[in-house]
Amino acid sequence: MILADKFGHIVVEAQWNEKNGYKLLIVFADIEFRLFSILKAFRY
């Protein structure tokens, strides 16, 4: 559960809004994780 470790708040929001926009929040979390990895790569 990488998303749960780095973006716990997004996972909680996804579980709470499971009926409304679970998939959209998961996609957003995946994009945010990719951006975080890219920014981390540029820092070093």
Per-residue pLDDT tens digits for 6-33? 555 555 555 555 566 566 666 777 787 8
Instruction: Tell me which of 39 and 26 has the higher pLDDT.
Output: 39
> Cα dihedral angle (1, 30, 23, 20), rounded to 10 degrees?
90
The rounded distance, in Å, linking the Cα atoms of 34 and 18 is 23
Instruction: Tell me which of 41 and 44 has the higher pLDDT.
Output: 41
Put simply, whether the predicted model's pTM sits higher than 0.75 gets the answer: no
Tokens describing residue 36 = 């975080």
Whether residue 1 has pLDDT greater than 50: no
Amino acid at 31: I
Which pLDDT score is estimated for 26? 67
Tokens describing residue 13 = 């929001």
Give the residue from 36, 38, 33, 37 showing the smallest Cα distance to 3.
33
Which pLDDT score is estimated for 2? 46
